[in-house]
Amino acid sequence: MNLKTDTKEKFHAITVLENNLSAGMTDRMADSLIPYLENEVKNVVLKMGEVNNIDVAAGEKLVQIQQRFYENNASFVLCEIQKVPETFLDENELLEMMNVTPTESEAWDIVQMEEIERELLDDENAYLTEE
């Protein structure tokens, strides 16, 4: 599985350097991505611009990876998905379960908004426990 990582201030931009994304590849990708949850910067933006084909199992695995990130108070956003894989994911009712943006810049906006939401929820929970 070929991945290129670019670490930013609040997220890791990870580019998938594969034309076809299969279940086995996403299993290996999960093994590479899950350790980011242990870092200070946990958020991941997965750039899918090179991917031209994806299978259902790989799409399902991406949904599972995203869920794991959200369970650990981190963002996982997909961006730059090409038309064919996007249509395929949509037809298989997976796209609606994913956090997807057209560009890395918009993915960064999502990460920032989710960070603010988490901070507000933490503040609200702290306030409720004080009462």
pLDDT of 89 reads 96
User: What residue ranges of the chain have pLDDT lower than 70?
Assistant: 124-131
- The contacts found for 94-103 with CB under 8 angstroms, 24 or more apart, are 94/56, 94/59, 94/60, 94/62, 94/63, 97/63, 97/66, 98/62, 98/63, 98/66, 99/66, 99/75, 101/77, 103/79
Tally of domains in the chain: 1
pLDDT of 129 reads 63
User: What's the CATH code of the domain at 111?
Assistant: 3.30.750.24
Range of the domain at 62: 3-130
